[in-house]
Amino acid sequence: MATTDPIPASIAATAGPAAPPPASLPADKIEAAARLYLRRKHRLEHPNGEFDSGGRWYPSAAEYQVCCIGIRAPSRAHPYSYMVHCRTVEHICWLTEELSDDDVGAVRCRARELEATGDYR
């Protein structure tokens, strides 16, 4: 009967620490994302971007995230389609690289709590 040997220390040391699961994220990242969402929602802060000569708003390269791919291209009839999207909780979670789709609910819940108290500035 063969026994399995534990992983040698030299190999285990090079493997590095395991990534924490999304549920173990520090509350401060969720807090910061909720505050950013509320500042954008209440127009205290604006997404990075610029207007073209037709009055259509486009996000900057740093603001544009994977979640923006499916958004309707701005037109004269809908010039703020990207701007509206860049104010959503989903977009804020993409901007905060440590947050995932699983954290959207936690950010939304914390934003509701902050908005109820009025303490989000």
Q: Are 36 and 108 in contact (CB under 8 A)?
A: no
Is this structure's pTM higher than 0.85? no
**Kindly report the CA angle at 41 between 37 and 45, in degrees rounded to 5?**
80
CB neighbour burial string for 20-53, b if at least 16 within 10 angstroms, e if fewer: eeeeebeeebbbbbbbbbbbbbeeeeebebeeee
Percent of the chain whose pLDDT exceeds 70:
79
The domain locations on the chain are: 25-117
| Average pLDDT estimate for 31-39 | 95
Q: 45, 116, 119: which is closest to 87 by C-alpha?
A: 45
Q: For residue range 48-104, what is the model confidence (pLDDT) as tens digits?
A: 999 999 999 999 999 999 999 999 999 999 999 999 999 999 999 999 887 887 889
Average pLDDT of the chain?
84
Write down the H helix ranges in the chain.
Answer: 9-15, 27-41, 81-85, 89-95, 104-117
Q: Are 68 and 60 in contact (CB under 8 A)?
A: no
